[in-house]
Amino acid sequence: MEKLNSESFSSFIREGDKVVEFSADWCVDCKRIAPDMPAIAEEFADKFSFAVLDVDESRNIAEQYDVKGIPTFIVFRNGEEVDRLPSRNAKTKEQIETFLSGLKG
């Protein structure tokens, strides 16, 4: 998954359907799902491009999108937020897959 920062975030979400995982190195739940993310990105590669954003390195973006807990997954379509999976519901591979499967492509 592409790693975003404050400079690359806007250009990544600008066009198409994108999923950004808001995360941090110290986040236990983020570490728990990290091994599953390549398989999830591959499974949904026909619908979305995936990237991860460290909230500590890009606090301004996390604040702009009102990210309160991590991991949080935000889905963007042509630069606009269309849905999100908040941290309380993003603890397992199955929760993330169910969320992404329910989105209209």
**Residues with catalytic function:** 27, 30
Cα separation, 4 vs 100, whole angstroms: 20
Token pair in block for residue 89: 């519901």
Return the closest-CA partner of residue 66 out of 92, 84, 50. 84
